[in-house]
């Protein structure tokens, strides 16, 4: 079963969007299998965003992401990597349709409230970076047969 790493960024926490964002993923039918609130270190964030290290905004990005608590989560479900990205909207909120998280709740690319893994490979790397194996919870939801054939 596919998993993805999602994180509500410090602006999402400050703006009290935690419940709203989790609610959308829950209602969709995805299963939450890990979650923790944490103040991410610059070292962790530099590693997390390593692919962007040569971009001009890398330093500011790491600073913003470590400026307050984040909600780190792992969500599981059919095509969850791709679908969570669709639910988030585009990187730039101006390109995000209303109805998406970024389309509904933010305006600035550098304050875009949520992170989501961009591929299954990224998801595996990011889950391993943010969580220990025993923090991932295996559980059956009684609603499963009403969400999947």
Give the residue numbers annotated as catalytic, written as ranges. 115
Check binding of 3 to ligand GTP (CB under 6 A): no
Check binding of 116 to ligand GTP (CB under 6 A): yes
Stretch of 12-20, 27-35, 73-81, 111-119 contacting ligand GTP, by CB under 6 A: 111-119
Q: Which residues contact 2 (CB under 8 A, 6 or more apart)?
A: 76, 77, 78, 79, 80, 81, 120, 123
Shortest reach from residue 110's CB to ligand GTP, in Å: 4
Q: What is the sign of the dihedral through the CA atoms of 100, 27, 69 and 137?
A: negative
Determine which residue in the list 61, 68, 124, 125 makes contact with ligand GTP, applying CB under 6 A.
61
25: nearest Cα among 50, 49, 10, 3: 3
Report whether 102 belongs to an annotated binding site.
Answer: yes
Cβ(33)–Cβ(139) below 8 Å: yes
Question: How many contiguous H segments (helices) and E segments (strands) does the chain have?
Answer: 8, 4
Report whether 23 belongs to an annotated binding site.
Answer: no
The residues that touch Mg ion, with contacts defined as CB under 5 A, are 118
- Which residue positions form the known binding site for ATP? 9, 57, 85, 91, 102, 112
Binding residues for ligand GTP, rule: CB under 6 A, are: 52, 57, 61, 91, 109-110, 112, 115-116, 118
């Amino acid at each position: 079963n596919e998993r993805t790493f999602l994180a509500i960024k410090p602006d999402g926490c400050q703006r009290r969007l935690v419940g709203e964002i989790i609610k959308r993923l829950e209602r969709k039918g995805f299963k939450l299998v890990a979650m923790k609130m944490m103040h991410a270190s610059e070292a962790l964030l530099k590693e997390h965003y390593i692919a962007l290290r040569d971009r001009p905004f890398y330093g500011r990005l790491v600073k913003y992401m470590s400026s307050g608590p984040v909600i780190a989560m792992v969500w599981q479900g059919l095509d969850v990597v791709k679908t969570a990205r669709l639910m988030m909207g585009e990187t730039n909120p101006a390109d995000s349709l209303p109805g998406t998280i970024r389309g509904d709740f933010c305006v600035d690319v550098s304050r875009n409230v949520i992170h989501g893994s961009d591929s299954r490979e990224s998801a595996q790397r990011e889950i391993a970076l943010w969580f220990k194996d025993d923090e991932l919870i295996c559980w059956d939801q009684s609603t499963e047969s009403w969400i999947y054939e």
